[in-house]
Amino acid sequence: MEDNLPQTIMDIGRRSIVPIVVAVAILCAMTGSSDAQCVARSERAAKIAIDAFVAEPSSLLVQLRSEKEKLSGRLQGYLVSDISVLKSVPALTRAASQADRASIGAALHRAEIRCRPVKPEFAQKIGDFVGKLHDSAVLAGYSSEPDDASPSPPPTTANLPAQSGSGLMSGEFKTDIADPFAAMPLPE
C-alpha cells in the first residue's frame, strides 16, 4: 500500500495540472486578442461580424450596396476593433468599384486617426498599408479625410455664452424663485 501512495499522488497531480494549463492558455489567448483593439469593449464591432468579413470581404460590398458612408463606417469599426482585419482589405479593394474604393480609403484614414492616441503602432501599420496598396482611388479617399478628424475638445466656460436673465431660479443652489419683475441685465 505504501508503494502505491507516491504513484497515486503523482496521478492526482497530473490530473489537476491539465485544467490549470488549459486555463492559463485561455487567459493568454484572451489577453492577446484584447491587445489588438484601439477602442473600448463597448465600441468594438461584434466578433461574429469581423469573422464573417475576414472569411468573405466582398460580402460587405453586397450588404451595403451604394451606401458609401455605411461602408466606410463599418470598415472603420472592424479595423479599430481588430487590426488583423487589415489583411482582408486588399480582397475587399479588388472587389470594390471606384467610388467604393474611395470610401475604403476614408475608412482606413479614420481608423488610423482613431488608433493614433491609443495604439500608435497600429496607426503606423494602417498608414504603411495604404502606401503599399498602390491604389489611386483608395489613396484619394485616404487623402480626402481631414487629418484632424478627432473629436473636438469640449467647450470651456470662456467659450460659453453668458446666461443673462434666462433663469427662473436664483440663489446659490438655484432653489429660490427669481423676481420676474427685476430689471434685465444689459449685454456687455
Per-residue pLDDT of the chain (188 residues; tens, 9 = 90+): 556 776 777 677 666 665 565 555 554 444 444 456 888 888 888 899 999 999 999 888 888 887 888 888 899 999 999 999 999 999 999 999 888 999 999 999 999 999 999 889 999 999 999 989 888 999 999 988 777 644 444 444 444 444 544 567 777 777 888 777 877 777 76
181 within domain boundaries? no
pLDDT of residue 108: 93
Cell output for 140? 484619394
- The Cα 71–Cα 93 span in angstroms is 12
27 within domain boundaries? no
- The Cα 50–Cα 46 span in angstroms is 6
- Domain ranges, residue 109: 41-144
2 within domain boundaries? no
Please state the domain count of the chain: 1
Neighbours of 99 (CB within 10 A): 13
123 within domain boundaries? yes
111 within domain boundaries? yes
9 within domain boundaries? no
56 within domain boundaries? yes
187 within domain boundaries? no
